[in-house]
Amino acid sequence: MNQASIFTLEKRGNAYKDFDSFPSDLYVDTSAWIAAYNGNLSYNPIKEFMGDCLNNNTTLYHSEMILSEIVHVNEKTFYDQYAKENEYLSKAREHGKINQKKLRKLINHAHPEILTDIRTSQNKLLHIIRTSSDFLEYEADTEAFEEMLKIRNASGNVLGVNDAKHVYIARQYGINSFLTADGDFIALDNDNIYAPQSEKYIREKIGRNNVYLEFDPEQY
């Protein structure tokens, strides 16, 4: 099997170390959108790479899966922040476990402004995604589900079900290049993975050809 090619986003001056051209089509994983636009890093390699892609005529893509996950992760981030800073966890604990509904009810009551803050942050993220990338539709049926399971099985069950769905959606449109901050994408085959520098990706690059792979449906 031809392992996925891994391109990390390390730069030397204005040029990228691992590649000198950009993919024509790039599916941006939820983790990459979050890393790019939901943090306060002084230097953000994912955000910079996305900008460089757009400046080099790359089309970025997202799906309903991305939008749904963004809403979930954004909301969870706000509640987790309040839960850690206050005594709500102990108050929401029942039979040794945290009752998430009770936890959120406690936070909403004490901090009603959180609902507005969540909605404002959510709308900002969704606007960025919708205006900077194209939407890929997909039909969720039994056949699609079976294909997602095949993708997951091919990864040795390293990919989660949702990650496999992202890959399935992209491949339906002939896209095999992914921007991600999720280490599990190393388990893909015959795809191009663009990811920030990390020990895991640096290690996994070793022994691979790491050349741009054209989309070939016969390889999956």
CA pseudo-torsion sign 11, 16, 18, 23: positive
Query: Left if phi > 0, otherwise alpha if psi is -120 to 50, otherwise beta: which for 8?
Result: beta
User: Model confidence at 181, in pLDDT bands (50, 70, 90)?
Assistant: very high
Q: What is the pLDDT of residue 219?
A: 87
pTM of the model: 0.92
Length in residues, the chain: 220
What is the number of other CB atoms lying within 10 angstroms of the CB of residue 20?
A: 7
Q: What is the pLDDT of residue 43?
A: 78
Q: What is the pLDDT of residue 3?
A: 87
Query: Does the pLDDT at position 1 exceed 60?
Result: no
Q: What is the pLDDT of residue 41?
A: 63
| Contact indicator for 89, 103 with CB cutoff of 8 Å | yes
pLDDT tens string 91-146: 888 988 999 999 999 999 999 999 999 999 999 999 999 999 999 999 889 999 99
pLDDT tens string 155-172: 999 999 999 999 999 999
Output the CA–CA distances (angstroms, integers) from residue 76 to 59, 71, 96, 180, 213, in the order listed: 29, 9, 21, 20, 36
Q: What is the pLDDT of residue 69?
A: 96
| SS3 per residue for the chain | CCECEEEECCEECCEECCCCCCCCEEEECHHHHHHHHCCCCCCCHHHHHHHHHHHCCCEEEEEHHHHHHHHHHHHHHHHHHHHHHCCHHHHCEECCEECHHHHHHHHHHHCCHHHHHHHHHHHHHHHHHHHHCEEECCCCCHHHHHHHHHHHHHCCCCCCHHHHHHHHHHHHCCCCEEECCCHHHHHCECCEEEECCCHHHHHHHCCCCCCCCCCCHHHC
Which of 81-95, 103-117, 193-207 is predicted with the least confidence, judged by mean pLDDT?
81-95
pLDDT tens string 2-30: 589 999 999 999 999 999 999 999 999 99
Q: What ranges do the domains of the chain cover?
A: 5-63+112-219
| Mean pLDDT along residues 55-64 | 97
What average pLDDT is seen over the chain?
Answer: 93
- We find that the CATH architecture of domain 5-63+112-219 is 3-Layer(aba) Sandwich (3.40)
Which comes out higher in pLDDT, residue 38 or 205?
Answer: 205
